[in-house]
Amino acid sequence: MSEAEAVPRANRGNRLLLEQWVDLLQDDSFRRYWLMRLVSHGGTNALGYSLLVFTVRHSDSAIATGALLLTLIVPSAMLGAIAGVAVDRLPRGLILFAANILRAALVFALVGAKDSLAGIYAVSLGLGIVTQFAVPAEAAVVPHIVRSRRLVAANSFINLGTLASQVAGMLVIAPLFLKTTDGDALLFLLVVLFAVSAALITVIPQFHFTSTEDGREVSLRAVRREFAESWLHLGRDPTAFLALVLLVVTSISTLIIGTMLPKFSSGVLHIAPENIVFVLAPVGFAVFLGLRSVEFLADRFNKLVTISAAYVLMAVSLIALGLVAGSAEAIQSWDPLGLFGAGLLDQRAARIAVTVVYANLYGFSLTVVLTMGRVLLNERIPLAMQGRVFAAQSILTNLVAIGPVLLAGLVADWAGVQPVLVCAGVAALLAAAWSQARSSRTVPAAPGREVSDAPPLR
């Protein structure tokens, strides 16, 4: 056996270990990109939490928080297509640099604007506009930074960074500063974080800040035409289209669960809503396991089988979360260890135990779907078109989510949380079935392009 053959086999034997991520971090470009996202997303998550707190300090009405949500959704509806075309036309390094500088400027403005709801909404609207350009740009640059054979490992590690930024931003940095200060210190820290993120962008070799394309039409008609071209290309590739649909539905399911958590805590588990974090803490292990095993699963099976199986497991887990009460009663009746009969455990303990199991299954499968869906789009969509496709994902997620999230809230008030979760899981399965039935055949993925073969990242 040659040395070249031995290395891949050794790597395959360590898919569930950290070797793949360590190799990625040895790549200067990827390491700087990953750190840039970690810093930027940490700041963004802390900022989102802060905007919510500042809003509640002025008014705790649902209308006030709903208006804050609209400032983030409206830009997606109005500017999503324009942002996607801009990401594919303009230098993506320049877009990301400008996005972080603008975020820093908006956060600095929030120091004074946070004293009024109108000021908070204005800053949030500005951040929503900037985000529409930054998110597709971040997703579209990945194939330029890593080679195609490392896309699975790269996307799983990127998702790990996203998870870490959420924990650091929303659970550590923002709560700590908002509880100990009036918020100004936090905002100045966020300005620094966004400035650091912008600086990191300038030292990534694949990022360029000038464009070589001249003379292209700049008009709304051109934007609509180019966005339609990307959608038609997506529609001709059933695998890529399925990946997009699964990503959108999965993201919507997480929004529904997020809105249901307070009622699920009090109505199903009979615990205070603020204590649900302790029940869901073990899900972090399931997410980490999903991140580490996604490449292993993709190697043992093909990517389409992996994402499809994970999606079905996610939908079934969502349905199971709606059946927690019945599952807990079954465990109590079975009582193999006699713990319930002896009075050592009660109904609430049974429901919490069942929830932990189902939530871990959901967290694991959700992670695999999100990672593999991004990989499939990176592999199958032309590099020059990926900005528009990821912008389309953002548009669909934000717009389609409005109806289900509002309906879920109304039904939960009327019939309870559990029917909502069951219906959400069934709807997720139906959406996947519709997408699969949409085409009678699957188009093979185009061979992944190595970084050296990819066009320069403008």
Asked if 381 and 240 touch (Cβ cutoff 8 Å), the reply is yes
Looking at residue 3, its pLDDT comes to 39
Which pLDDT score is estimated for 341?
A: 54
How far apart are the C-alpha atoms of 262 and 259, rounded to whole Å?
7
Measure the CA–CA gap between 339 and 73, rounded to whole angstroms. 49
CA dihedral 389, 383, 101, 180 (to 10 degrees): 60
d(Cα 5, Cα 457) in Å, to the nearest integer? 32
Are the C-beta atoms of residues 281 and 273 closer than 8 Å to each other? no
Residue 82: per-residue pLDDT: 79
Question: Are the C-beta atoms of residues 97 and 201 closer than 8 Å to each other?
Answer: yes
- The answer to whether residues 100 and 201 touch, using CB atoms and an 8 Å cutoff, is yes
**Which of 32-46, 167-181, 340-354 bottoms out in mean pLDDT, i.e. has the lowest?**
340-354
pLDDT in tens, 239-271: 888 888 899 899 888 878 877 777 788 788 888
CATH topology of domain 1-209: Growth Hormone; Chain: A; (1.20.1250)
Residue 440: pLDDT above 50? Answer: no
DSSP letter at 170? I
Give the tens place of pLDDT for each residue, 99-130. Answer: 999 999 999 999 989 888 899 999 999 998 99
Asked if residues 293 and 16 have their Cβ atoms less than 8 Å apart, the reply is: yes
Per-residue pLDDT at 439: 54
Closest by CA position to 122, among listed 74, 163, 187, 63: 74
Whether 312 shows a pLDDT value over 80: the answer reads yes
Q: Are 391 and 83 in contact (CB under 8 A)?
A: yes
pLDDT > 80? residue 347: no
CA 27/CA 77 separation, integer angstroms: 37
Q: pLDDT band for position 303 (50/70/90)?
A: confident
**pLDDT tens digits for 2-61?**
434 444 444 444 444 467 777 788 888 888 999 999 999 999 988 988 888 888 788 766
| The pair of three-digit structure tokens given for residue 217, joined into one six-digit string | 């039409």
pLDDT > 90 in the chain, percent = 21
Contact by Cβ (8 Å): 451, 145: yes
Look over the chain and give the mean of its residue pLDDT values, rounded to a whole number. 80
- Of the CA atoms within 13 Å of residue 178, those in its CB half-sphere come to 21
Among 34-43, 144-153, 201-210, the range of highest mean pLDDT: 34-43
Angle at 234 between CA 443 and CA 37, to 5 degrees: 110
Q: Do domains 1-209 and 229-437 have the same CATH topology?
A: yes
Q: What is the third-level CATH fold of 229-437?
A: Growth Hormone; Chain: A; (1.20.1250)
- Tokens, residue 189: 């820290």
Residue 149 carries which DSSP code?
G
Of how many residues is the chain composed? 458
pLDDT of residue 210: 58
Q: How far apart are CA 79 and CA 429, in angstroms?
A: 30
Going from N- to C-terminal start, the domains of the chain cover 1-209, 229-437
Asked if pLDDT for residue 219 goes beyond 60, the answer is no
Asked whether the beta carbons of 193 and 39 are under 8 A apart, the reply is yes
CB 261 within 8 A of CB 273: yes
Please state, as a whole number, how many other Cβ atoms lie within 10 Å of the Cβ of residue 228.
12
d(CA 251, CA 41): 17
- Is residue 121 within 8 Å of 160, Cβ to Cβ? no
Nearest to 81 by CA among 381, 396, 380, 402: 396
Given a cut of 80, is residue 427 above it in pLDDT?
yes
- Give the whole-angstrom CA distance, residue 29 versus residue 26: 9
Q: Is this prediction's pTM over 0.75? A: no
* Burial (0-12, 13-18, 19+ Cβ within 10 Å), 42: buried
pLDDT number for residue 342: 52
Q: What's the pLDDT at 446?
A: 47
Q: What is the pLDDT of residue 317?
A: 94
Three-state SS at 206: coil
Identify the pLDDT of residue 414: 84
- pLDDT the model gives residue 204: 85
Average pLDDT over every residue of 296-321: 88
CA distance 111 to 28: 35
Separation of alpha carbons 80 and 131, rounded Å: 10
* Sequence letter at residue 319: I
What mean pLDDT is predicted for residues 415-425? 89
Evaluate if residue 365 carries a pLDDT over 90.
yes
pLDDT at 383 (0 to 100): 78
Report the pLDDT averaged over residues 305-321.
92
Q: Taking the C-alpha atoms of 420, 430, 160 and 94 in order, what is their torsion angle to the nearest 10 degrees?
A: -110
Locate all alpha helices (DSSP H) within 2-116, ordered by sequence.
Answer: 3-12, 19-25, 28-58, 62-89, 92-113
> Which uninterrupted H or E stretch holds 434?
helix 417-437
8 A C-beta contact, residue 234 and residue 389: yes
- Least Cα distance to 204 among 71, 334, 93, 61 occurs for 93
To the nearest whole percent, how much of the chain has pLDDT over 70?
83
Tell me which range, 276-285, 415-424, 443-452, is most confidently predicted by mean pLDDT: 415-424
